[in-house]
């Protein structure tokens, strides 16, 4: 079988695939009904009603009573009322069909009663403003849900798959791809499925998923994700899971479910909304009866032709100002806006409960390996203890390790690449299990070894062995990793001077901290989150090095999973007893499950490709940048403040306007129905607008430059 040409040798000429068009939701109205009752059509109709209402008012104001112009003005007002009845009536009927007596029904009742007592203009104003606020609310909700639409649009419509039978590249829909398929992705095209890079290297823009501004460099063996953009060279990839099971598909599903969940406060409001609406009707009836029978107010009043001093008019005004429209949407609008803003920043909130708990976070515990650090060592330095500067031994070490997949091997090869050192060609390279690796540099008398001191000791010249031991001891006291590379005759025979073939060097390595770790503690403390604790199974020295480098408040090392749970449970109990907040645990989503489960809120980081994290954690940070942690805490707290402001505004508006209505007979200050209407609907619009401000939340970007450096390492110049 002939192998197809690799993508690295091809020149991409095809443009990026267009976004996939999503099928219509079968639950949504279609055809003419969907057009007429869409939010944009409702808004246009409501604005048309406003024009009719203002025109009718203007004509009626200047026309003589009973004249043709007065009749025409009245007709314009009734026309505005009719438009409002179309949209308000449909919403009310839909609610009644579902067995609900809610705000939609209240508004229709209020408008019909207003028209009944000879105040069609007030009824038209009520329905017109109600339609406008309802349409704007729907449009606002749609705006907050565009994160899902944007994620859907990331999916390409085609993929280039290599066909084993015809030995040709064929175009197929991404949905048909299965694990093991060989796919080509040209420059400028979207990755069609989660896959591993087979051949080539390129830069992948995954900002739409992780929020990171800089493309990620990938090479052979690295994983790439569906919906991300190939910005540089063409590559060949091997599919690891079908498109329907990709990380992007799971993220879309999570965001969808999150937007459907309710905060605890919202669930309470949902439960009481119908009894409250019924209570408002009963309260309005009580006002009507008291005003007429106890206070002696006429049913329709006698102050003017519309009966604005009558008991019915007062009861209708009370019904409208007490309607809980703004109260009902106070929480969901802010919650959806926060979820959508977080999704744009590469953070998945799994519903309102996660936002609520995160907003109350006052202490946090981090795992180390894979969380505070990336879990991959990097070479800090090569300390030569022989007759050279270590460059030659770096070439030897890279030659020994160039075909190994061990993390230390990869770190050494990468360090050589960065330093511009070409790996030396070695023969008879062999692994010695548990000790290191050996090879022959071309001289049968000389052996090259890399690994532990015990493994390399025989080829280290005797005069250098004590120096190697000193360097190793110094490195280990700092909690760093050290391996020895040495060349020479076995058992260190030969002269111990610069003419000797024997050389030795100590490679000093350390795990790399994640991007954003350098500002993590400072930003968390600024938010009042303290202590910031590290829980790790690593040794005491390594843990102390990481804690000191990052400025952590405390750390606990050499912990088993049950030990981590014990520490988290203790901190949780102390916080709950003192009512000072919640404890959060951040891990890599796989081996931290017990501790994550024990916390008030669990956060998984760097988990775009982790099924475990996507399913188990309350909050998922898709990028590797720890700066997203304080950012999303700030967003959650901002959302909570918005909700409290919304609820305060809603309740205050209801209380103030209801008080004016009920005390009008005592104070002599009556509230015209149109003022109550403006106050009610204005409060609704204010709540929606306040919530939408969350979509512009910044408070320092969640992702800075994507760079991770080793502990104690200076940046490579």
Write the class of the CATH domain 375-513. Answer: alpha beta
The number of beta carbons lying within 10 Å of the beta carbon of residue 393 is: 27
pLDDT band at 117 (very low <50, low <70, confident <90, very high): confident
Under 8 Å between Cβ of 383 and 390 = yes
pLDDT of amino acid 86: 92
pLDDT of residue 414: 92
Whole-angstrom CA distances from 573 to 226, 576, 592, 600, 601 are 42, 5, 20, 11, 14
- Mean pLDDT score, 192-216: 79
Is residue 111 over pLDDT 70? Answer: yes
Q: Which of 108-117, 404-413, 496-505, 514-523 has the lowest average pLDDT?
A: 496-505
SS3 1: coil
Question: Average per-residue pLDDT in the chain?
Answer: 81
Mean pLDDT of the 461-483 span: 86
> Two tokens at 321?
């100002």
Task: Return the HEC string of 597-656.
Answer: HHCCEEEEECCCCCHHHHHHCCEEECCCCCCHHHHHHHHHHHHHHHHHHHHHHHHHHHHH
Give me Rg for the CA atoms of the chain.
Answer: 35
Least confident of 207-211, 228-232, 317-321, 344-348: 207-211
Is residue 73 within 8 Å of residue 57, measured between CB atoms?
A: yes
What is the fold of 7-16+155-246?
2.70.150
Q: Among 122-126, 145-149, 176-180, name the most confident range.
A: 176-180
Judged against a pLDDT cut of 90, whether residue 83 lies above it is answered with yes
pLDDT of residue 5: 44
Note whether 347-373+516-631 and 375-513 share their fold: no
Mean pLDDT of 600-625: 75
Pick from 203, 403, 450, 341: which is nearest to 698 by CA?
341
pTM: 0.71
Q: What is the pLDDT of residue 31?
A: 54
Which of 75-89, 383-397, 574-588 has the weakest average pLDDT? 383-397
pLDDT band at 136 (very low <50, low <70, confident <90, very high): confident
CA 104 to chain centre: 33
pLDDT tens digit sequence for 393-451: 999 999 999 888 788 898 999 999 999 999 999 988 988 877 889 999 888 888 999 99
CA dihedral (154, 155, 158, 160) positive or negative: positive
- Of residues 144, 190, 166, the one with CA closest to residue 332: 144
pLDDT in the model for residue 674: 83
How confident is the model at residue 355, as a pLDDT? 92
> Tell me: the pLDDT tens digits for 278-294?
899 999 999 999 998 98
CA pair distance 575, 567, nearest whole angstrom: 12
Other beta carbons within 10 Å of 264 = 12
Q: Give the class (CATH, top level) of 347-373+516-631.
A: alpha beta
Task: Give the pLDDT of residue 153.
Answer: 62
Q: Please give the helix or strand (H or E) that residue 237 lies within, else none.
A: strand 235-239
Mean pLDDT of 80-104: 88
pLDDT above 70 covers what percent of the chain?
81
Helix 673-692 / helix 311-321 crossing angle, nearest 10 deg:
0
> In this predicted structure, what is the pLDDT of residue 260?
57
When pLDDT is cut at 50, 70 and 90, the band that residue 124 belongs to is confident
- Inform me whether the pLDDT recorded for 154 exceeds 80: no
Instruction: Find which of 257-266, 571-580, 589-598 is predicted with most confidence, using mean pLDDT.
Output: 571-580
Residue 181: pLDDT above 90? Answer: yes
Report H helices in 495-610.
517-526, 540-550, 561-578, 593-598
What SS3 class is residue 82?
helix
Higher per-residue confidence, 27 vs 280: 280
* Strand intervals (E) in 318-420: 347-349, 361-367, 373-384
**pLDDT digit string, tens, across residues 670-711:** 788 888 888 887 888 888 889 989 988 987 666 554 445 555
Q: pLDDT at position 48, please?
A: 92
Q: Measure the CA–CA gap between 612 and 625, rounded to whole angstroms.
A: 19
Residue 500 pLDDT more than 70? no
pLDDT at position 175, please?
Answer: 87
Domain limits of the chain? 7-16+155-246, 347-373+516-631, 375-513
Q: Each residue of 594-607: pLDDT tens digit? A: 788 888 998 988 66
Q: Taking the CB of residue 100, how many other CB atoms lie within 10 A of it?
A: 15
- Torsion sign over Cα 14, 19, 24, 30: negative
pLDDT of residue 366: 94
- For the chain, report the end-to-end CA distance as a whole number of angstroms: 46
Lowest mean pLDDT across 502-511, 521-530, 547-556, 610-619: 610-619
- Report how far apart, in Å, the C-alpha atoms of 122 and of each of 32, 44, 322, 413, 458 are: 30, 20, 16, 79, 99
pLDDT greater than 50 at residue 18: no
pLDDT score, position 25: 43
ω into residue 531 within 30 of 0, thus cis?
yes
- What would the mean pLDDT of 248-260 be, rounded to a whole number? 65
Reported as a single tens digit per residue, the pLDDT across 523-579 is 999 999 999 999 988 778 888 888 998 999 999 988 877 888 899 999 999 999 988
| pLDDT mean over 288-316 | 76
Question: What is the percent of the chain where pLDDT is above 90?
Answer: 27
> Could you tell me which residue, 277 or 52, shows the higher pLDDT?
52
Exposure of 477 by Cβ count < 10 A (0-12 exposed, 13-18 middle, 19+ buried)?
A: exposed
What confidence tier does 716 reach under pLDDT thresholds 50, 70, 90? very low
Tokens of 13: 């000429």
Write out the catalytic residue numbers: 367
pLDDT of 258 over the 60 cut: no
The pLDDT assigned to 590 comes to: 52
């Amino acid at each position: 079988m002939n192998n197809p040409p690799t993508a690295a040798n091809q020149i991409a000429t095809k443009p990026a695939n267009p976004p996939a068009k999503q099928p219509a939701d079968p639950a949504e109205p279609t055809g003419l009904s969907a057009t007429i009752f869409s939010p944009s059509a409702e808004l246009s109709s409501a604005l048309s009603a406003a024009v009719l209402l203002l025109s009718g008012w203007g004509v009626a104001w200047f026309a003589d009573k009973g004249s043709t112009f007065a009749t025409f003005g009245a007709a314009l007002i009734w026309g505005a009322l009719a438009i409002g009845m179309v949209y308000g009536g449909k919403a009310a009927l839909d609610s009644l069909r579902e067995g609900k007596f809610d705000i939609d029904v209240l508004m229709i009742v209020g408008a019909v009663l207003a028209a009944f007592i000879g105040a069609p203009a007030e009824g038209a104003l009520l329905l017109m403003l109600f339609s406008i606020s309802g349409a704007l609310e729907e449009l606002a909700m749609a705006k907050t849900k565009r994160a899902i639409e944007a994620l859907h649009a990331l999916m390409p419509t085609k993929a280039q798959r290599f066909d084993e039978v015809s030995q040709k590249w064929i175009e197929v829909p991404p949905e048909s791809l299965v694990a093991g398929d060989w796919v080509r992705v040209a420059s400028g095209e979207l990755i069609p499925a989660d896959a591993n890079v087979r051949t080539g290297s390129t830069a992948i823009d995954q900002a739409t998923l992780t929020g990171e501004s800089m493309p990620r460099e990938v090479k052979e063996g690295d994983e790439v994700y569906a919906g991300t953009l190939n910005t540089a060279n063409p590559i060949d990839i091997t599919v690891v899971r079908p498109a329907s099971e990709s990380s992007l598909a799971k993220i879309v599903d999570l965001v969808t479910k999150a937007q459907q969940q309710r905060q605890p406060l919202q669930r309470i409001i949902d439960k009481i909304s119908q009894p409250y609406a019924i209570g408002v009707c009963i309260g309005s009836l009580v006002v009507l009866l008291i005003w007429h029978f106890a206070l002696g107010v006429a049913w329709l009043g006698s102050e003017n032709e519309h009966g604005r001093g009558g008991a019915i008019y007062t009861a209708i005004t009370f019904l409208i100002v007490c309607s809980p429209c703004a109260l009902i949407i106070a929480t969901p609008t802010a919650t959806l806006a926060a979820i959508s803003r977080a999704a744009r920043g590469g953070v998945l909130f799994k519903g309102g409960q996660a936002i609520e708990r995160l907003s109350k976070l006052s202490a946090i515990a981090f795992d180390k390996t894979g969380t505070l650090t990336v879990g991959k060592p990097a070479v800090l330095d090569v300390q030569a203890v022989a007759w050279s500067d270590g460059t030659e031994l770096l070439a030897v070490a890279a030659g020994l390790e160039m075909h190994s997949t061990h993390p230390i091997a990869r770190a050494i090869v990468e360090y050589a690449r960065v330093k511009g050192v070409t790996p030396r060609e070695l023969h008879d390279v062999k692994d010695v299990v548990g000790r290191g690796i050996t090879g022959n540099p071309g001289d049968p008398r000389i052996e090259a070894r890399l690994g532990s001191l015990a493994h390399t000791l025989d080829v280290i010249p005797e005069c250098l062995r004590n120096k190697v031991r000193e360097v190793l001891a110094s490195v280990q006291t700092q909690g760093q990793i050290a391996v020895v590379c040495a060349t020479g005759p076995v058992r260190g025979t030969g002269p111990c001077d610069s003419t000797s073939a024997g050389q030795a060097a100590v490679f000093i390595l350390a795990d790399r901290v994640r991007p954003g770790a350098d500002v993590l503690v400072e930003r968390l403390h600024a938010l009042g989150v303290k202590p910031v604790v590290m829980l790790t199974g690593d040794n005491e020295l390594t843990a102390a090095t990481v804690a000191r480098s990052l400025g952590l408040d405390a750390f606990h090392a050499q912990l088993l999973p049950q030990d981590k749970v014990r520490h988290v449970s203790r901190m949780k109990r102390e916080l709950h007893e003192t009512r000072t907040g919640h404890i959060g645990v951040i891990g890599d989503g796989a081996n931290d499950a017990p501790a994550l489960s024990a916390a008030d809120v669990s956060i998984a980081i760097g988990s775009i490709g982790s099924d475990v994290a996507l399913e188990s954690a309350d909050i998922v940070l898709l990028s590797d940048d720890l700066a997203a942690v304080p950012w999303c805490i700030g967003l959650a707290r901002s959302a909570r403040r918005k909700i409290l402001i919304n609820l305060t505004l809603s309740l205050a508006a209801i209380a103030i306007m209801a008080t004016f209505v009920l005390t009008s007979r005592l104070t002599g200050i009556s509230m015209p129905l149109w003022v109550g209407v403006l106050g009610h609907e204005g409060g609704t619009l204010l709540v929606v607008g306040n919530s939408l401000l969350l979509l512009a939340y910044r408070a320092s970007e969640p992702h800075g430059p994507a760079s991770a450096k080793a502990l104690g390492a200076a940046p490579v110049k």
